[in-house]
Structure 1
């Protein structure tokens, strides 16, 4: 299992916007330079963040703004906005394990509840970390 880089890119975007929104107009090109990815990737993630109601984006040279107070945006909000978790399941099983094999026949019974506990714990931890906390932790590094 690996969460895609969209999550950390989204986090980088919000930290950058929160840090520099008063100093400069923040565009996808500015963000792409900071993150070192193609601006198209930035625009796609900005679109997902906008759809989630976390940011506003003005076309052209308008820039990006954060719509919610920083203490009301959690890492879980970012995760939900940019990661595609099918059927609310972080862990995906291989297709059709053998029903002729005792392990294949019972793998879901053996793992499903444990993997759900792991996912729930991760989501709880992400929910408890706000953009405000990240900015406070990084105050010495971001100035």
Structure 2
């Protein structure tokens, strides 16, 4: 099963924008850094725009920039902006309710899922986009 890369791609894009200060950055340039198609980047930027993490302008001088300072954007906000569901999914069909495991497994897994989601949110809330950008910049030096 392939892992979803939306979050890591979003952090990459936003770190690029953090390094560009208030300059608008075109999706083609971002796509080159991420090594993907500009259409993929534009879709991702749309999600980030809906979450009010970026602002975009169209036209010759257009592009995208951060909506807020990088030290005000948490990784938790980014994760929520691009998250496509829980860490794992429950089966689409109900298990056999005549079986003692089948009768109780969904409730147990649902509670586990909630605990994991809460832990992820708490952990990511402890990091800002600025802290990620600073670490990337340190490694680049």
Tell me, yes or no, whether TM beats 0.5.
yes
**What's the CA shift string for 1:5-30, capped at 9, x where partnerless?**
111111110001111346x6511111
SS of the residue corresponding to residue 55 of structure 2 reads strand
1:6 to 1:113, Cα distance in 2 relative to 1, 3 A: same
Ranges of 4+ aligned residues in structure 1 off by more than 6 Å: none
Q: 1:128 aligns with which of 126, 131, 138?
A: 126
Where does the alignment leave 5 or more consecutive residues of structure 1 unmatched?
none
Q: Quote the Cα distance in structure 2 between the aligned partners of 1:111 and 1:57.
A: 40
State which of 115, 118, 134 in structure 2 corresponds to 1:117: 115
Q: What is the TM-score of this pair, normalised by structure 2?
A: 0.87
Q: Distance in 2 between matches of 1:33 and 1:20?
A: 15
Structure 2: gaps (5+ residues): none
Distance 1:129 1:30 in 2: 26
Seen in structure 2, the aligned counterparts of structure 1 residues 83 and 2 have a Cα distance that, compared at 3 Å, is: farther
Aligned pair count reads 139
Pairwise CA RMSD of aligned residues? 2.0
